[in-house]
Structure 1
């Protein structure tokens, strides 16, 4: 029986082997032949067209394998992004620096880099004397580069020249600079640091009176000026302490004579360099605790306040941002475009970060309208940005797709696909949608962007998401103010949710403080944002009372912004403690000041000025003076009730024109003038809930009451 069973098994085995052999023979007949059998193979797959199809499939497969997206792992848990310090104050700190929860903060990243003087020298070593400062002489010209060692030598010579002109080499000597971004700006700054001097930037929106006030308060003897027009602006109201202007560009003989008549000498930038090289004064490097810059804020009522920042303040702020950028941190191979004002700390910090690691900075040619041309020529990998720029890009794309169903459909498909990738932690610009839909947007910014840092004002959620999808780079949004150098919080890689500003950076801690009059309470995770750390300023120059008011007894900086902790440990800015707000381009608006000017118009009985941080202009609700308007209407043969007159275009034009005249006479800047008004027939009153018992405007209630009209005005202004 066993023998018979073995025979049956052998027969089955032989049958299986025969079947496998037959299958192999059958398949072998259709395997890809060698070259000598190529004609037969082409015939089998359908001729040359079939071969082309297979080649296309193979190419597509190869392209996918090469461009296959790789998800990035968040550096902190996205549902728990900051550390809550035990205690009643509910303080939060960074998870990027373990010691922060013990009250210790980042001061520097490198032991040999504790001042801005050190930072530039470290960059020279890291880059191996690579390109440092770039510029171009015309819109069709390529970028030219000043390398690190040459920049160091020229900066040292310029600083030596300042000493030769009589300035003392110490942190009590202030040097003014009034210029657009350019290599000479950085050479002036670094030249001053070679001799422990302090840089005081001036800028156009300050106005001539404020510039004169700053020069006088800081006792500035020398201001480095860009050109003839800026020289003449300073010569309009020169304080007695101002004795020299150093110009980067040629000035007219008439300007030279005008300066001479005021006892001011004008020198060329190169002359000072040559003088410094001849004298070769020994460098006097600053200490980390020395003040490096005084940044005057233009933001509120009265004279500007000088924010004193030390070398340690700035180095700590830059170090903490580099830490929080994680895998996307800047390196010596990065190229940054410089177009935001160097007078403000957001741009300064970005550039200092690049110099610290040995990267390159190319300056725009001076015309923001041609910024895209500069980006195409420079091809930057890193850029700071502000909402106003990104809003323009977004609006242009929306305009381009609005009249085409096909474009709109492709755009929506592209956005959906890219948003899904971003949610999965994928950041790239080599997908099919990047090539089909977003190529022009990316090429308009040089085509190589990998990192964008957004600040100065809030960015709308839809614009932020669009920017992340369209540019295919890491876009982080930060919150801060000059008194904290720049950054207080910063979003982290992998967090795709908009409408918050991230967790605290590693150089500071943040807490929220009760604001009972506005019904914000820290126990409910709402309140005024307060900051303590190595980035907090030294005080306001020559204003100890204002310093005490802002820093408080316990050293916490009170920002005046109302924040809210989200469940994942990130901060959201929801309000402003005082009635001051910032427009999308970063300009501060004090509505009461503007209202007090417009109320002088004979046609205006009550006025409510409103602006939003996502808009670039302000609007107003006006209650006209009944008697004056009715008299004007009778004289101009216009009949109707006050409600009818409020809707009449000629009445609106009359009132707005008069308001603008009053604004001009009072010296309002263009961004402080309303761009549209709504006329309302019924007065604000205590009874209708729009005034307090002391007859002050209830701003939140007015905003809510007139929300439809405000939205309508802004819609028409787009």
Structure 2
């Protein structure tokens, strides 16, 4: 239609114009009885227009057509964002993802990738021996190993371990004591290639925990990265605290003194290259595992007592990441050009991003930055995620470049992210930022943000690999009938149990296979989950560390001038703060010894006294081996005792933590603000 006046292929705009003209002429006909014009009439009408008018119409049409073709479009959600999960019959209120195959939960994504060994082999096949593991020194380019190089090194390392007495069996546990580096992955793959089990060791757990893990898992071989860690392991053997340890394989350059020290206590210390060389000479054909075989034992730090060894099968791990793939496969399916960057803890990365904006050092810059963030935030709210807007070019390109400039996806977990931070990241990074929730016992995640749902304040819907239900917690007034209760998870991603700990396994994993997380959740109307509380007085800090405040309070209460105290932290903060009530009789005398004088009321406001008490608390914490993240970083001195009368203590004189948190809400905010200044 109207082909004689089409310019730049803009058919739609001229059809709109002709439609409008037709409507107007039809209206005139109704009023005056005139004949409705046909297409010849319209043709003559446009032919009568001046050339300049036609050119203007054509130019406008071309601009509008270009805008329509290139305008940003929102991500198309894989399901209705108003209905992201549904209740499953006969599962006691359990809910499943709307992306689930309704006949069963997802166990794997690809038929030829049901174990971690098969997953790697699939990567080798698809990549055509492309780059696999990359690492770099500061300010240096990445150096890459290909899939075949990694496979070869893993087979050689595994063969070398077998030659020296290790078994190709899920009963063979190999410790890995190292930071993230390519050799970590090679060691892990070596274990999977020969059906052995990886047991990560973390120095953040402390020396007692490392000894406990080695003894509990009967670890005779540990692969570690640095000489210093090898020395820690040898010291344990010398003190007869880890009698099973017989071999240390070192990733870094071998120290001859270390070899001699190991020889003196019956431990064979050798270089990783030496073990791989043995494996080349005495190569063994791979003996891969089955999906039901144990793949890894991850010891969690816990809050009290010894760490718990979470036993995860190959099937557990494959099911969990298959759930992530299923949720995102329509919007951002990984391809062979993608790189995965291990950036832990992410709290440090968020801090670095914020630091980039300390450059907004004038009111005008801050005003423009806030405006840009709001405009990008408005796009995110409408479902549009992009990095090519004018605001990106002016303000956010530096942040995006600091992460390589090709970022497509970020997944954050471990602890809930502040809605403000999450919104800013989605706007500034110009990529899809997803939030996941879960714990080691369900492999990693059990909920995940649905693509297209960029609203903060929840942790998404259940993954397609698991069900989630809420159960009553009457002592805290949470009831499943109201859509609130303890979060429980069931599915192929749920762990086998705790290593050699049937009692704690029974406390966490019920007879019907439901994992009881200890977190309190709430179903939102759209089928997403919100985490609102903990069943016990345990919480996570922003970097993912669990905290037991009572344990810390029981240590700090030994401080001479302290009568009462309340330790506070939450999942949006990376440190602890405290409320301290001094002893009315002891504190003034204690202060006088330190040269600080005044009445009790005056001393409670004295900054020198506050500093002295804080130092004493930290001293006690160090003496009791508290970790750095378990120490309070700021305190407020309160002059009135917690009591039954003011509602801060129970009739049995126990602290009412929710009431204390609410009562001191303003002071707590001030304490955190002072830390960040």
Q: TM-score, normalised by structure 1?
A: 0.84
- The 1:247/1:60 distance shift into structure 2, 3 A limit, reads farther
Rounded to whole Å, the distance in 2 between the matches of 1:119 and 1:71 is: 32
Aligned twin of 1:201: 200
Deviations 1:558-587 (CA, angstroms, capped at 9, x unpaired): 000000000100000000111111111111
Aligned twin of 1:349: none
Q: Pick from 437, 440, 454 the counterpart of residue 482 of structure 1.
A: 440
Rounded to whole Å, the distance in 1 between the matches of 2:575 and 2:394 is: 35
- The 1:575/1:534 distance shift into structure 2, 3 A limit, reads same
How far apart are 1:260 and its partner, in Å?
2.1
- The 1:297/1:86 distance shift into structure 2, 3 A limit, reads same
Rounded to whole Å, the distance in 1 between the matches of 2:276 and 2:121 is: 19
- The 1:87/1:388 distance shift into structure 2, 3 A limit, reads farther
Deviations 1:146-203 (CA, angstroms, capped at 9, x unpaired): 1111211111111111101100110000000011111111111111111100000011
Aligned twin of 1:69: 72
Rounded to whole Å, the distance in 1 between the matches of 2:457 and 2:565 is: 31
Instruction: Work out whether 1:386 is the aligned partner of 2:390.
Output: no
Q: Pick from 75, 80, 86 the counterpart of residue 83 of structure 1.
A: 86
Rounded to whole Å, the distance in 1 between the matches of 2:658 and 2:524 is: 22
Rounded to whole Å, the distance in 2 between the matches of 1:621 and 1:236 is: 40
Aligned twin of 2:335: 331
Deviations 1:285-304 (CA, angstroms, capped at 9, x unpaired): 10110000000001210110
Deviations 1:542-572 (CA, angstroms, capped at 9, x unpaired): 0011111101222211000000000100000
How far apart are 1:601 and its partner, in Å?
1.3
Rounded to whole Å, the distance in 1 between the matches of 2:186 and 2:592 is: 66
Instruction: Work out whether 1:544 is the aligned partner of 2:502.
Output: yes
Rounded to whole Å, the distance in 1 between the matches of 2:609 and 2:403 is: 45
Deviations 1:198-236 (CA, angstroms, capped at 9, x unpaired): 000011211111111101111111100001111112222
Instruction: Work out whether 1:396 is the aligned partner of 2:399.
Output: no
1:403-422 mapped onto 2 (5 Å cutoff): 403-422=361-380
- SS of structure 2 residue aligned to 1:171: coil
1:391·1:463 contact (CA, 8 Å) conserved in 2? no
Aligned twin of 1:322: 325
- The 1:204/1:116 distance shift into structure 2, 3 A limit, reads same
Rounded to whole Å, the distance in 2 between the matches of 1:93 and 1:193 is: 31
1:503·1:569 contact (CA, 8 Å) conserved in 2? yes
- The 1:20/1:208 distance shift into structure 2, 3 A limit, reads closer
1:282-301 mapped onto 2 (5 Å cutoff): 282-301=285-304
2:168·2:194 contact (CA, 8 Å) conserved in 1? yes
- The 1:473/1:633 distance shift into structure 2, 3 A limit, reads closer
Aligned twin of 2:633: 675
How far apart are 1:145 and its partner, in Å?
1.1
1:615-654 mapped onto 2 (5 Å cutoff): 615-635=573-593, 638-654=596-612
Rounded to whole Å, the distance in 2 between the matches of 1:331 and 1:681 is: 61
How far apart are 1:537 and its partner, in Å?
0.1
Rounded to whole Å, the distance in 1 between the matches of 2:223 and 2:595 is: 59
How far apart are 1:702 and its partner, in Å?
0.8
1:245-394 mapped onto 2 (5 Å cutoff): 245-325=248-328, 326-340=330-344, 386-393=346-353
Rounded to whole Å, the distance in 2 between the matches of 1:72 and 1:632 is: 63
How far apart are 1:280 and its partner, in Å?
1.0
Aligned twin of 1:593: 551
Deviations 1:265-296 (CA, angstroms, capped at 9, x unpaired): 11111111110111111221101100000000
Work out the number of aligned pairs and report it. Answer: 629
1:619·1:674 contact (CA, 8 Å) conserved in 2? yes
2:254·2:270 contact (CA, 8 Å) conserved in 1? no
2:552·2:567 contact (CA, 8 Å) conserved in 1? yes
Instruction: Work out whether 1:94 is the aligned partner of 2:97.
Output: yes
Deviations 1:227-257 (CA, angstroms, capped at 9, x unpaired): 1111112222131110110001014333223
Q: Pick from 486, 492, 495 the counterpart of residue 450 of structure 2.
A: 492
- The 1:95/1:31 distance shift into structure 2, 3 A limit, reads closer
Rounded to whole Å, the distance in 2 between the matches of 1:80 and 1:472 is: 26
Rounded to whole Å, the distance in 2 between the matches of 1:643 and 1:275 is: 73
Rounded to whole Å, the distance in 1 between the matches of 2:368 and 2:562 is: 50
- SS of structure 2 residue aligned to 1:98: coil
Rounded to whole Å, the distance in 2 between the matches of 1:616 and 1:232 is: 31
- SS of structure 1 residue aligned to 2:341: strand
- SS of structure 2 residue aligned to 1:681: coil
Rounded to whole Å, the distance in 1 between the matches of 2:66 and 2:198 is: 52
2:466·2:491 contact (CA, 8 Å) conserved in 1? yes
Deviates more, 1:692-701 or 1:528-537: 692-701
How far apart are 1:681 and its partner, in Å?
1.5
Q: Pick from 657, 673, 677 the counterpart of residue 715 of structure 1.
A: 673
Rounded to whole Å, the distance in 1 between the matches of 2:594 and 2:267 is: 56
1:176·1:201 contact (CA, 8 Å) conserved in 2? yes
2:248·2:267 contact (CA, 8 Å) conserved in 1? yes
- SS of structure 2 residue aligned to 1:140: coil
- The 1:112/1:626 distance shift into structure 2, 3 A limit, reads same
- SS of structure 2 residue aligned to 1:209: helix
How far apart are 1:423 and its partner, in Å?
2.6
2:259·2:270 contact (CA, 8 Å) conserved in 1? no
1:388·1:584 contact (CA, 8 Å) conserved in 2? no
2:539·2:570 contact (CA, 8 Å) conserved in 1? yes
- SS of structure 1 residue aligned to 2:579: strand
- SS of structure 1 residue aligned to 2:585: helix
- SS of structure 2 residue aligned to 1:184: helix
- The 1:636/1:423 distance shift into structure 2, 3 A limit, reads closer
Q: TM-score, normalised by structure 2?
A: 0.89
- The 1:64/1:624 distance shift into structure 2, 3 A limit, reads same
Deviations 1:390-448 (CA, angstroms, capped at 9, x unpaired): 2542x3255333x3233223223322322222233222111111101111111111111
1:487-566 mapped onto 2 (5 Å cutoff): 487-566=445-524
The unaligned stretches of length 5 or more in structure 2 are 1-40
Root mean square deviation of aligned Cα = 2.5
2:437·2:448 contact (CA, 8 Å) conserved in 1? yes
- SS of structure 2 residue aligned to 1:300: coil
Deviations 1:365-385 (CA, angstroms, capped at 9, x unpaired): xxxxxxxxxxxxxxxxxxxx7
Deviates more, 1:248-257 or 1:664-673: 248-257
Instruction: Work out whether 1:234 is the aligned partner of 2:233.
Output: yes
